[in-house]
């Protein structure tokens, strides 16, 4: 088994990782799977998530290259919709995961994933990012919790929350709006910017990090 893999491994090292990735064929395709109910979404890698909390029925659509869409595994585990690619791929078209759900209280992003989140509402919402992921969010919630690490960025300035809790590390960058209170813990070279009418602001910084009013 080892001797059969060695030529491919050596070729990958010689030509670079992209030589061993399956490239998208550029032909658009989409699927609309029927999935169990979920209240959270977890994606990583190269996905582009477009999630909307809606009063209508739950709906999921995956768009991308026709030869890569079948390689995506979509599954619901303990109320969390997970999107995974088990092969190394190089998409020509964005792998877009479109989600409409009546309940959305948590989104987790990793790798180079991107997300646009709209219509957020309810008592609490949690956004957790790592790697070089990026998220933009809008809506109105009572409590917003943001956990960002690596080189991730969060633009939640259009999400109004009474209480905001932020945990930022690495070189992450976060924008939030707090109307009552803000508790921000920033370390490394992370930066937290905030707006709103929060009367109680508790910044905790270390290293080259900062917490400042926008």
Confidence (pLDDT) at 95: 96
Same domain, 156 and 89: no
Q: Are residues 173 and 198 in the same domain?
A: yes
For residue 122, the enclosing domain spans 115-208
In a domain, 20, yes or no: no
d(CA 49, CA 5): 35
Query: What is the number of alpha carbons within 13 Å of residue 77 lying toward its C-beta?
Result: 8
Report helix, strand and coil shares of the chain as percent, to nearest 5.
10, 60, 30
Q: Is residue 56 part of a domain?
A: yes
Q: How sure is the predictor about 87, in pLDDT bands with cuts at 50, 70 and 90? A: confident
Domain limit, last residue, from 76, 104, 132: 104
Predicted confidence at residue 86, as pLDDT, reads 78
Q: Enter the tokens of residue 51.
A: 């999630």
Residues above pLDDT 90, as percent of the chain: 85
pTM: 0.89
Q: What is the mean pLDDT of residues 70-81?
A: 97
pLDDT at 16: 52
Average pLDDT of span 109-122: 97
The reply to whether 75 and 122 lie within a common domain is no
Domain count, the chain: 2
Other C-beta atoms closer than 10 Å to the C-beta of 84 total: 14
pLDDT of residue 40 exceeding 80, the answer is: yes
Instruction: Convert the pLDDT of each residue in 146-202 to its tens digit.
Output: 999 999 999 999 999 999 999 999 999 999 999 999 999 999 999 999 999 999 999
Over residues 70-82, the mean pLDDT reads 97
The total of other beta-carbon atoms located within 10 Å of residue 32's CB is: 11
Neighbour-count burial of 195, counting CB atoms closer than 10 A to its CB (0-12 exposed, 13-18 middle, 19+ buried): middle
Inside any domain, residue 11: no
């Amino acid at each position: 088994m080892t001797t059969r893999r060695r030529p491919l491994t050596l070729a990958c090292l010689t030509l670079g990782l992209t030589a061993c990735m399956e490239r998208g064929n550029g032909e658009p395709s989409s699927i609309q799977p029927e999935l169990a109910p979920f209240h959270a979404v977890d994606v990583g890698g190269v996905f582009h998530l477009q999630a909307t909390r809606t009063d209508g029925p739950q709906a999921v659509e995956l768009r991308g290259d026709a030869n890569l869409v079948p390689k995506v595994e979509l599954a619901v585990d303990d109320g969390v919709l997970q999107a995974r690619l088990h092969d190394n791929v190089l998409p020509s078209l964005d792998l877009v995961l479109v989600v409409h759900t009546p309940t959305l209280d948590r989104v987790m992003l990793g790798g180079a994933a991107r997300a646009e989140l709209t219509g957020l509402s309810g008592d609490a919402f949690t956004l957790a990012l790592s790697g070089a992921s990026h998220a933009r969010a809008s809506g109105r919630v009572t409590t917003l919790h943001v956990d960002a690490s690596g080189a991730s960025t969060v633009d939640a300035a259009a999400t109004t929350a009474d209480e905001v809790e932020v945990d930022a590390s690495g070189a992450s960058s976060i924008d939030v709006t707090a109307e009552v209170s803000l508790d921000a813990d920033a370390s490394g070279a992370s930066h937290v910017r905030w707006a709103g009418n929060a009367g109680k602001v508790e910044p905790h910084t270390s290293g080259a990090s900062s917490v400042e009013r926008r």
